[in-house]
A and B are shown apart, each in its own frame.
Chain A
Amino acid sequence: MTTKTLIGAAIAFACLAGAAQADKLDDIIASGTLRCAVTLDFPPMGMRDENNNPIGFDVDYCNDLAAALGVDAEIVDTPFPERIPALMSGRVDVGVASTSDTLERAKTVGFSVPYYAFENSVVVAEGVEGDSWDDMRGKTIGATAGTYEAIWIEERIAEWGEGTFRPYQTQADVFLALSQGQIDATVSTTEVANANVDSGNYPGISIIAKAPMVPDYVALFTMRNEYGLINYLNLFVNQQVRTGRYAELFAKWIGEGEPAQLTVPNAYR
């Protein structure tokens, strides 16, 4: 009797242990769905078409990843500040949300190798004098709160010891404030800047220069301890470049020119 109980217990335990060892990668494959956090007010990376369906570079990237895993993709619209709660509470599996891979953030989440890199441009309101970043000294400069460029602007203003920084909640609010003349300038990704100038929705704004900053490398992210999944993401990013899919997506969503280099010269990752 006791032997039987013991054997039963042992079998039950082995099953549990097996279940416990399944990692997030297994869970995603088993569930048949990959849930991606994508920020849908960040064109051309994430946005909605006229039928309100999610589209953009990040959306396609998530779909490619789901296809590689052999599962369905589910796009979860996640504003920038909500990326971490969404991941930690298990609402999403992976973040494909143009997230800058800062060391400070890497203490909290696990990043893949960079899957895209942004250059940033300085955009000014009508009637603002200047043709370089340094001419913005002492002016009121806005950006989307918590982005790589927002953090960079705050640091520059602190260095200058003059000028004002204005964070807004969405990219759209920044450009609204810029076209209204509430702020003198903004620094935003070149892709977004071009899209907004060309759209004609924001009269009077113009791009004056590239911002003198290190390119903004963005990475996929997931739980810090999910090495199996992070490993897979790294290989996936590599394959996207290798197969030419990266260049294809760049041409589709961003357009002319060369897609950004994802490696840093003279350094391993």
Chain B
Amino acid sequence: MFDYTFQWRQAYARLPQMLEGALVTMEVAILSMLIGVALAVMLTLFRLSGNRALSAVATSWVEVARNTPALFQIYMAHFGVASFGLYLSPYVSLLVGITFNNAGYLAENFRGALKAIPDTQTRAARSLGMTGMQAFRYVVLPQMLRIAFLPMTNQMVWAILMTSLGVTVGMNIDLYGVTQDLNALTFRTFELFAIAAVIFYLITKAITLSARLIASRLFKY
């Protein structure tokens, strides 16, 4: 009993606005990945450091990021921190929320990748006169990133999809936010969300395909 006449022409007229939204979505996702990878490396080092305090920080970060809904994390980044007098704009809240989530998941991926690298390699590097930091940077990290590369791609796809949660903190310039606004304005729900779904699909597909290409170039033995 689905009684609806599709008016594609009306929806296509809004396509430019939605594509602008898609750009914002990609911008947020890419930024959150760049910052997220840096933070995840930091968290991984914290965990390896053997320092109780640092390792506790890293562990609790990872636990919270992986075991609470992303929606909750983004909501807290807006309304939660505001109750302590720290006002983040919707854009920043969304970025902080997704980055927090990314860093947690990526740190866990990195830990798994590290486990796959025998510590004899670190010892070999140290015996060549490298410092612990150098051994990590030149020997362990490159291998770790190689093993963690595909999980990172997955996380990038998640980051794109997570931007759709920004509407809960008043974000209205990303793809989902724009679509939601247009929906309220025109009531052409099904056309607009169908178009948005296709755009999301194309973006994530482009990411996975290019990741495969990059991987095949980067990781040639």
* B167 and A145 contact, CB distance less than 8 A: yes
Residues of B contacting A: mostly: helix
B167-A105 in contact (CB<8A) = no
Interface residues of A in 57-108 (CB under 8 A from B): 80-81, 83-85, 88-90, 104-105, 107-108
B49: interface (CB < 8 Å): no
Q: What does the 1/0 interface line of A209-234 toward B look like (CB < 8 Å)?
A: 00000000000000100000000000
Interface string of A167-198 (1 = CB under 8 A from B): 11100010011001110000000000000000
B79 part of interface (Cβ distance < 8 Å): yes
Beyond A142-B170, A145-B172, A177-B79, whether A88 also contacts B189 by CB under 8 A is yes
Interface check A157, CB cutoff 8 A: no
Tell me whether B167 and A169 are in contact (CB under 8 A): yes
Interface residues of A, dominant DSSP: mixed
Residues of B close to A29: CB separation below 8 A? none
Interface flag for A146 (CB, 8 Å):
yes
Q: A146-B185, A168-B170 are in contact. Are A88 and B190 (CB under 8 A)?
A: yes
Cβ of B51 within 8 Å of any chain A Cβ, yes or no, is no
**A167 adjacent to B190 (CB under 8 Å):** no
A180 and B83 contact, CB distance less than 8 A: yes
Give the contacting residue for A145; candidates B1, B2, B181, B186; CB below 8 A: B181
For chain B, the bracket of interface size reads 20 to 34
Q: Mark B166-195, 1 if CB is under 8 A from A, else 0.
A: 011110100001001101111111100000
* Docked complex Cα distance between A130 and B125 (Å): 68
Contacts of B183 in A (CB 8 A): 81, 84, 146
B185 contacts which chain A residues (CB < 8 A)? 104, 146, 151
Q: Are B1 and A90 in contact (CB under 8 A)?
A: yes
In the assembled complex, A139 has its CB within 8 A of some CB on chain B: no
In the complex, A137 has a CB within 8 A of chain B: no
**Which one of B4, B10, B170, B172 lies within 8 Å of A107 (CB-CB)?**
B10
Are A169 and B186 in contact, with the CB atoms below 8 A? no
CB neighbours of A177 from chain B (8 A): 79, 82, 170
Known: A88-B3, A167-B170. A81 touches B184 (CB 8 A): yes
Give the number of residues in A that approach B within 8 Å (Cβ atoms): 31
Q: Answer whether residue B90 sits at the interface, using C-beta atoms and an 8 A cutoff.
A: yes
Chain B residue numbers with a CB within 8 Å of A173 are 79, 168, 170
Q: Which residue of A lies closest to B170 (CB)?
A: A166
- Which of A142, A150, A168 has most chain B Cβ within 10 Å? A168
Closest residue on chain A to residue B177 by CB atoms: A167
Inter-chain CA distance A168–B170, complex, in Å, is: 4
Closest to A100 in B: B184
9 more contacts with CB within 8 A, not counting A168-B168, A169-B168, are: A88-B189, A142-B170, A145-B167, A145-B172, A145-B184, A166-B170, A167-B177, A180-B79, A182-B78
Q: Which A residues contact B (CB, under 8 angstroms)?
A: 80-81, 83-85, 88-90, 104-105, 107-109, 142, 145-147, 150-151, 165-169, 173, 176-177, 180-182, 223
